[in-house]
Homo-oligomer: A and B are copies of this chain.
Amino acid sequence: MERVLEQKFTIEYQYNVFFTKGLFSLGNNLFKNFLTVHSNPGFKQKILFVIDEGFMDAHPNLAEQIRNYFMESEDFILASEPLVIPGGEICKNDPTCLDNIIQAVDQYGIDRHSYIVGIGGGAILDLVGFAATISHRGIKHIRIPTTVLSQNDSGVGVKNSVNFKGKKNFLGTFAPPKAVFNDFEFLETLDERSWIAGVSEAIKVALIKDLSFYEWIENNAEKIKERNSSEMEDLIFRCADKHLEHIRNGDPFELGSSRPLDFGHWSAHKLEQMTDFEVLHGEAVSIGISIDVLYSYLIGNITREEAFRVVELMNKLGLPIYHPILDTEEARFILLSGLLDFQEHLGGKLTIVLLEKLGVGKDYHHLDYLLVLKTLDLLKNFCQDQNPVYEAS
């Protein structure tokens, strides 16, 4: 006799992405108000801050600022001094960084009604999100991204991760934050490279989703490069908006097989590994976009002019479109193996987004290795004709 019980339920996820300046200045009540609205009257909820070491160095008063900000709070207490953790891939590669956060959760009695707040670049936010999500089966986490890249892309999304024995993002979950606070003032201390690297994710989303946004970036490339805040703020806002829209209208937890926002990413992930993360993620994405754009041209979807218009935009912004590590045959072979890693991470069928035309992405399930190699030659030649950007960095 066989019997069956059916289980079915839905979970609603909701969070806001706030854009502000001077998040922890005493006059700015945005963060406090958020916490008050979500507080549990009569209980002091704990907040544990985990801060990117590099960002902390550039903002030496931050810990004190945070302490003052919460000084008179009735409903919230700081669990401890902020945990300071090295940013970048280091913190995702080194298991002790994850362990330190979990240890702090235990030591300071951070519970499911408390918050862990990550302040830093995408890597720190990935790590903090993962640590929070697996501790006590899910402590609430808040993200405060401090780079262009994390403010407009990964930081506003629903993913977290750490690396496992060098394999990027091998471990992680889908777990929306409770809130994201994008403080534009935090971008002021970014170095030139990081400032511009984050723009590539905006170009990515514009190319596959929104031609008018792409054209806006072209028209404002100069100002963005010259660190004009107002244009950068608009770029981040629009990019974050597109990213959020894509998540909610698509497949938020990627239960299907396509991840259309991964345009330009199959090669980017590999390139980061190959250069030992000397190439920033945004830079790798810029090169990855260049490859995929030229590939889209080689299979006849867009014209040569359109393809090089994109490559030139990135070149003009100061983003790399090629890397000399790709000069050797072995390296190119390793790059191509990135397609296999990508397939495995996604599962089953390979799905790569290419351009159907400028502003519209399209899924493909096969890439011709020889054509990929040809894009590399085209990009290398382009660099040799121009000022080779990669040598400047």
Contacts and interface: CB of A to CB of B under 8 A. Distances in A.
Contacts of A344: 109, 111, 136
A138 B345 contact: no
A113 B248 contact: no
A41 to B, nearest CB: 11
Given A170-B106, A171-B134, A347-B111, A10 B8 contact: no
B102 A164 contact: yes
B345 A244 contact: no
Nearest to A161: B137
Nearest to A20: B2
Interface string A165-190: 10101111110100000000000000
Contact of A111 (B2, B14, B348): B348
B237 A7 contact: no
A137 B12 contact: no
A240 B137 contact: no
Given A11-B252, A16-B6, A134-B172, A43 B349 contact: yes
A43 B348 contact: yes
B7 A349 contact: no
Contacts of A133: 173
Given A5-B241, A171-B134, A248-B7, A111 B346 contact: yes
Contacts of A45: 348
A18 B40 contact: no
B112 A346 contact: yes
Q: Which of A11, A106, A244: most chain B CB closer than 10 A? A: A11
A369 interface: no
A114 interface: yes
Interface in A34-60: 40, 43, 45
Interface of A: 2-20, 30, 40, 43, 45, 102, 106, 109, 111-114, 130, 133-139, 156, 159, 161, 164-165, 167, 169-174, 176, 237, 240-241, 244, 247-248, 252-254, 257, 343-349
Given A136-B345, A137-B172, A138-B174, 9 more contacts: A2-B18, A5-B240, A7-B16, A7-B176, A8-B13, A113-B257, A130-B134, A137-B161, A138-B254
